């Protein structure tokens, strides 16, 4: 017992390796929830340009008349930005700590944890870089020659008509699946909801989420490549 005044709540969490994992878990789950919604929205591309572009427009007018044009969208963007920054900052700081805690490697190496577990850091970096490209490509159109604002269907088909668009996207979505597979289950442990009896349920949910997200997202470029969507 050190007694006396102790920093409360947020400070205690942020200053500790355990608390930073809580931050990672919560921010990760926020992003995961968004991804599920995003993936379902993407699937509207299979119902033609009318429905897809209408859905994209609706995203800007959600909550009207209470919310002004694009307010809801910006609210979501701010929440996501906070989540991304919190997730990446914690990951960076925790990784620094982890690497420092084990400076000497064993001479005799053994292949240990699963592939998904071992690729969390690199996978996260790949996803971060992908996110930048993805926003510049389909939100702002900065790196997208012939980008037409307000015509998302056309822009998506356009992106997936290039080889690099397909490669970047599919590689990132495979990385996403691996990241979610270990990440969802880990988040449950970091938040203290895992247990022996719930483990099978949590692992299955993690695998299903990873698979559904990857397949759902990858189906769009595949559909464009196979001319199902054009």
Q: Which is nearer to other proteins, 9 or 65 (CB)?
A: 9
Under the binding rule (CB under 8 A), the answer on residue 1 touching other proteins is: yes
| Contact pick of 27, 159, 186, 219 for other proteins (by CB under 8 A) | 186
Q: For tokens 């690497």, what's the residue?
A: 99
- Helix (H/G/I), strand (E/B), else coil: 140: coil
Give the residue among 35, 28, 34 at the shortest CA–CA distance from 76.
Answer: 34
The interface with other proteins within residues 5-24 (CB under 8 A) comprises 6-9, 12-13, 16-22
* E strand or H helix at 41: helix 17-42
Task: Describe the crossing of helices 17-42 and 199-225 by its angle, rounded to 10 degrees.
Answer: 40
CA 74 centroid distance within chain: 18
| Contact pick of 196, 200, 226, 230 for other proteins (by CB under 8 A) | 196
Smallest gap from residue 31 Cβ to other proteins (A): 18
Piece of the chain touching other proteins by CB under 8 A; list 35-43, 58-66, 107-115, 131-139:
107-115
Under the binding rule (CB under 8 A), the answer on residue 103 touching other proteins is: yes
Number of alpha carbons in the 13 Å side-chain half-sphere of residue 81: 7
Q: How many CB atoms lie within 10 A of CB 214?
A: 20
| Contact pick of 33, 48, 98, 142 for other proteins (by CB under 8 A) | 98
Q: How many CB atoms lie within 10 A of CB 161?
A: 13
Under the binding rule (CB under 8 A), the answer on residue 128 touching other proteins is: no
Under the binding rule (CB under 8 A), the answer on residue 94 touching other proteins is: yes
String of DSSP letters for 102-119: --SPPSS----S-HHHHT
Smallest gap from residue 97 Cβ to other proteins (A): 6
Under the binding rule (CB under 8 A), the answer on residue 227 touching other proteins is: no
Q: Are 183 and 28 in contact (CB under 8 A)?
A: yes
Under the binding rule (CB under 8 A), the answer on residue 195 touching other proteins is: yes
Under the binding rule (CB under 8 A), the answer on residue 100 touching other proteins is: yes
- Helix (H/G/I), strand (E/B), else coil: 65: coil
| Contact pick of 40, 59, 82, 193 for other proteins (by CB under 8 A) | 193
- Give the interface with other proteins as residue ranges (CB under 8 A): 1-2, 6-9, 12-13, 16-22, 94, 97-110, 112-113, 117, 120, 182, 185-186, 188-196, 199
């Amino acid at each position: 017992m050190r007694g006396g005044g102790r920093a409360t709540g947020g400070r205690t969490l942020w200053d500790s390796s355990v608390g930073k994992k809580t931050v990672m878990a919560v921010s990760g789950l926020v992003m995961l929830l968004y991804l599920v919604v995003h993936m379902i929205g993407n699937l509207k591309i299979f119902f033609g340009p009318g429905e897809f572009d209408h859905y994209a427009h609706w995203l800007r007018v959600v909550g009207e008349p209470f919310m002004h044009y694009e307010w809801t969208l910006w609210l979501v963007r701010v929440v996501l930005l906070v989540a991304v920054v919190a997730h990446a900052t914690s990951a960076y700081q925790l990784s620094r700590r982890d690497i420092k805690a084990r400076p000497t490697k064993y001479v005799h190496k053994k292949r240990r944890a699963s592939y998904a577990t071992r690729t969390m850091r690199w996978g996260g970096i790949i996803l971060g870089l992908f996110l930048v490209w993805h926003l510049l490509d389909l939100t702002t159109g900065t790196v997208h020659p012939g980008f037409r604002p307000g015509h998302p269907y056309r822009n998506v088909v356009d992106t997936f008509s290039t080889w690099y668009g397909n490669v970047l996207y599919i590689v990132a979505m495979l990385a996403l699946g691996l990241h979610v597979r270990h990440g969802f289950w880990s988040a449950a442990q970091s938040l203290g909801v895992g247990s022996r009896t719930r483990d099978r349920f949590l692992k299955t949910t993690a695998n299903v989420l990873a698979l559904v997200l990857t397949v759902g997202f990858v189906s769009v470029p595949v559909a464009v490549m196979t001319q199902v969507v054009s």
